[in-house]
Chain A
């Protein structure tokens, strides 16, 4: 039987940064992670464990020191053209309106302006920003800017979506709203998602699978947990179900030691 290649495969990845002179910092050592087509995978770990580094490797923004990245079974060279990236910090162009931020990817691909605008209007409506296209990023709230960024990425129809703590700067209510909207958008055409977060509850409520990373340096996956909660889910309600609490306590057992380790390291710095 022919098995489809994973959408994204990180194969024994190590990342070592040169920090001037002979100083080296190994952020990630021997990390292996595969994401199947249509699978929603969350990567959790203590702060400073190299989660973002791993995502940058998957995006092709950072070349790993060792190991290989494969996209649909093909080795990755340069930027990962199949992937869309949602950044943790502000990534919109402040000099473009919301609409022009959404069209920019199509512009880069040479899509005619009229068609790009029509598609962007559609996407702005889908993320709940109908009529806000003429506003500049500084005129939008944090949640609205995240929606624009989401539309900006999704309009290009990427096969893989990489998300780096995209909602960590939002307040808890906005965040749960955005999480539900994300699940709704995702359920339409089931792309592969790698979702980085330090929030275990967020990870469990969104994902099919949760991967736990050890504390840095030399961070690597220490456990994988399948999340068998039924879909569609409501992220606020599902947190109250017994199965969620059971999964949470199991994963937290695995994570706890690493979180404490990471905390100690930060204290001693």
Chain B
């Protein structure tokens, strides 16, 4: 199917293969939609010359930092609010307000606060990741099985031990449920941040190409980003399999 798509793209945008049916100039289709061979050549040139690695590295570091900081923050605040009803009642309206705000508009402000380097992109990613993790942990802690809790208490757990042996493992499973989302959003934060103002990163590459109407490079950038996102997602899946062995997978059977 992928090959078919590329073929259709190639045929429809090549200046001489079919007579123009929409654009009056046969080169216009290629100008607006790029050409797959050119795009692949651009990707190949980026990787063979090595210029892309520095940009990918920057985007990767931004994504990972945003993801880690957002997750740790969301986990900590989620646990705190779920276990302290007073704090939750006090902060609830603010959290709702901040969460319903479109976070992308914060990017220029972060640019002013943290400069045009990595910090502003990480900050944007953190604001996106934090709320996903926070809401999941908050929900997760409040839905900890009462029986498991009561059982741990009867087995002699102190409050601190309850937190470590019941609340945190239980909340972790909810964090993992949101992991695919939060890695994706950390990535979105990094790229959008770069796109809005930066001097390096894949988002910056795309922005540069757009500035010179180099549509093939724009598509090449999108292609690289998509592949990159798929790799990140795959890493998350592997990590999930490793760490969540205790959870039954649907349809799984095992001999006992």
Contacts and interface: CB of A to CB of B under 8 A. Distances in A.
A96 B246 contact: yes
A89 B145 CA distance: 10
Contact of A136 (B148, B157, B246): B246
B224 to A, nearest CB: 38
A118 interface: no
A136 B145 contact: no
Interface string B216-256: 00000000000000000000000000000111100000101
A108 B158 contact: yes
Given A87-B147, A89-B147, A90-B147, A105 B155 contact: yes
B72 interface: no
Contacts of A182: none
Contacts of B248: 138-139
A87 B256 contact: no
A95 B155 contact: no
- Main SS of the interface on chain A? loop
Nearest to A108: B156
- Main SS of the interface on chain B? helix
Contact of B245 (A79, A89, A136, A152): A136
A141 B253 CA distance: 12
Contact of A141 (B155, B156, B172, B256): B256
B166 interface: yes
B99 interface: no
Interface residues on A, range: 20 to 34
Contacts of A93: 148, 152, 165-166, 169
B153 interface: yes
Contact of A156 (B145, B150, B155, B165): B155
Contacts of B169: 93, 95
Nearest to A79: B153
Contacts of A141: 256
A61 interface: yes
Interface residues of B, number: 25
Interface in B164-190: 165-166, 169-170, 172-173
A108 B169 CA distance: 16
Contacts of B173: 95
A147 to B, nearest CB: 13
Given A138-B247, A139-B254, A141-B256, A87 B155 contact: no
A61 B155 CA distance: 12
Nearest to A155: B155
B145 to A, nearest CB: 7
Given A61-B153, A89-B147, A104-B152, A94 B254 contact: no
B161 A92 contact: no
A91 interface: yes
Contacts of B165: 93, 104, 107-108
A156 B169 CA distance: 23
B104 to A, nearest CB: 36
B246 A109 contact: no
B185 to A, nearest CB: 26
B151 interface: yes
A109 B245 contact: no
Contact of B147 (A83, A91, A136): A91
B151 A156 contact: no
Contacts of B154: 59, 61, 79, 83-85, 153
Contacts of A109: 156
Contact of B151 (A91, A95, A107): A91
B156 A95 contact: no
A140 interface: yes
A87 B170 CA distance: 19
Interface in A169-216: none
Interface in B186-207: none
A223 interface: no
A132 to B, nearest CB: 8
Interface of B: 145, 147-148, 150-158, 161, 165-166, 169-170, 172-173, 245-248, 254, 256
Q: Which 5 A-B pairs have the closest CB atoms?
A: A91-B151, A105-B155, A138-B248, A85-B154, A136-B246
